[in-house]
Structure 1
């Protein structure tokens, strides 16, 4: 069975524009996501990589006009509704085209950055990424991307330490679990994670955490990348 080309969607959500270790005050999550993508390209040079920087160019926030347009049946939409949903449609199309979604996702005040929440609100779309039908009774919703074989990689950065499962402040981590819930809702349940901690401590604590996180990133690529097939291309 030959290896097919995959589409990788690389998203950065940090408000910091640079990369730590290269730029002053650079982003640790951007460092991890860039490492993942660079190693992925080395393993699979023919794959397509799309890049989206919601940290620097966040999508528009959902407002009343957006909600009105999104919950109007496509055949009944007025011209202004298409304009309101144009950005969301582009983001949804990009997501649907992706086989692997890699997100550089820092923790801001125990949750995701507002920029990434705006992205989530734009890609969770009735009729596009989840379905809704009152005739289904008690469970009227269903994920529309469940059979697409998509994989999600969350590469985080945290100021403190102990946010992973079983850690001393794991109960305060509302980043990975919330994103897992949202993407699971639309049908993306194959999720991988790595994170660097101790940014607020710096020094050897941060350096050690970064080394471990980068090893984890390398391991993820080695596991996911070289022999991966796009489910849509498997025969």
Structure 2
């Protein structure tokens, strides 16, 4: 049995392409692998607080020294990390905003990328991820195309950032399905969604 953590990050509801696609994938997955479990978190509608000074103080001090304020500041981080570590696979729906990720997803990342919980700094000053043997699927929704070798590729700070930050904590097996060209006319949009759905079928069969 596999535990999947499914996260949506779009603030849109029914009009969200990334939500539609992740829902389709999870529905097909559960129809194929009924014994697997899915934990769902909606970051688009249930916002995560950003890191603040009490959070930083709690992170860089021992739990035994925490005041009630510091314990409260780190509580949501602990919950999110425990949930993240309990999953073997991740399915994230992430629209591209200003060439990168939505701010609510960045707030989530800041809560779970935490020293001594999901990574450590070794004696040489290097980073060692503590989250290993996991697989991640990221389904994006993009107005244009940022394929490598095209002029717009230089503006893609979404996929490189996600690969880098989750790679830092040890998640390196990351697959992307880009639903792109969504603002480039009906034909381009339809073709892109067809391509994304075919890639999703392959994921369900082979992931």
**TM value normalised by structure 2:** 0.96
Match of 2:130 in 1: 144
Question: RMSD in angstroms over aligned alpha carbons?
Answer: 1.2
How much has 1:131 moved relative to structure 2?
Answer: 1.4
1:229 aligned residue = none
Cα distance in 2 for residues equivalent to 1:171 and 1:36:
29
> Alignment partner of 2:58: what SS?
helix
1:206 and 2:189 correspond: yes
For residues 47-196 of structure 1, the aligned pairs below 5 Å read: 47-132=36-121, 136-139=123-126, 141-146=127-132, 149-161=133-145, 163-196=146-179
The DSSP-based 3-state class of the residue aligned with 1:169 is: helix
> Is the counterpart of residue 219 in structure 1 residue 205 in structure 2?
no
Task: State how 1:24-63 maps to structure 2 within 5 Å.
Answer: 26-63=15-52
On the 8 A contact 2:143/2:181 being kept in 1, the answer is yes
Report the alpha carbon displacement of residue 110 of structure 1 after superposing the two structures with TM.
0.2
Cα distance in 1 for residues equivalent to 2:10 and 2:65: 38
In structure 1, how many angstroms separate the alpha carbons of the residues matched to 2:188 and 2:156?
Answer: 20
Deviation at 1:138, TM superposition (A): 3.6
The alpha carbon displacement at 1:145 in A equals 1.2
User: 1: distance between equivalents of 2:184 and 2:134?
Assistant: 36
Shift of the 214–129 alpha-carbon distance from structure 1 to 2, 3 Å rule, reads same
1: CA distance, partners of 2:115 / 2:142: 33
**Count of aligned pairs:** 207
1:100-154 Cα deviation digits (max 9, x unpaired)? 1100001001000001000100000111101135xx1343x321113xx111101
Task: Point out where structure 1 has 5 or more consecutive residues left out of the alignment.
Answer: 19-25, 225-235
Distance 2:148 2:199 in 1: 16
SS of the residue corresponding to residue 83 of structure 1 reads helix
Distance 1:58 1:170 in 2: 30
Q: Give the Cα–Cα distance (whole angstroms) in 1 for the partners of residues 35 and 124 of structure 2.
A: 46
Cα separation, 1, equivalents of 2:193 and 2:150: 17
Indicate conservation of the 8 Å contact 2:182/2:192, yes or no. no
